[in-house]
Amino acid sequence: EAGVTQFPSHSVIEKGQTVTLRCDPISGHDNLYWYRRVMGKEIKFLLHFVKESKQDESGMPNNRFLAERTGGTYSTLKVQPAELEDSGVYFCASSQDLLAASTDTQYFGPGTRLTVL
């Protein structure tokens, strides 16, 4: 079974540009999460999708960040325009629904390292 995949693995852009990160969750996982780790600090929650619906977006830093999950499959996270403080590693995670499965463990992708210059 394929794990969570993320693309690209690394992105370097200039301040003011736009970047779109993609996450493909494990097949059949309704829950999809985005997290971010900045400068070796803690991994911080950004938002949570259940299928195509945003369940919780309380961690989104500001309106420069836009996440979508059309069709309830893969998700994209767009940063427009990017600022220096957006640099960090963006992780995606997916899990099954706890009511439908014996575990709701979140499985993480390898992350996208975003560098804003």
Partner 1 sequence: DQQVKQNSPSLSVQEGRISILNCDYTNSMFDYFLWYKKYPAEGPTFLISISSIKDKNEDGRFTVFLNKSAKHLSLHIVPSQPGDSAVYFCAASLRDFGNEKLTFGTGTRLTIIP
Q: Are 72 and 55 in contact (CB under 8 A)?
A: no
Tell me the closest approach of the beta carbon of residue 15 to partner 1, in angstroms: 25
**Site membership for partner 1, residue 95 (CB under 8 A):** yes
**Site membership for partner 1, residue 17 (CB under 8 A):** no
- Closest among 30, 29, 81, 77 to 57, alpha carbons compared: 77
**Site membership for partner 1, residue 75 (CB under 8 A):** no
Interface contacts to partner 1, rule CB under 8 A = 4, 31, 33, 35, 40-45, 48, 56, 59, 91, 93, 95, 98, 104-111
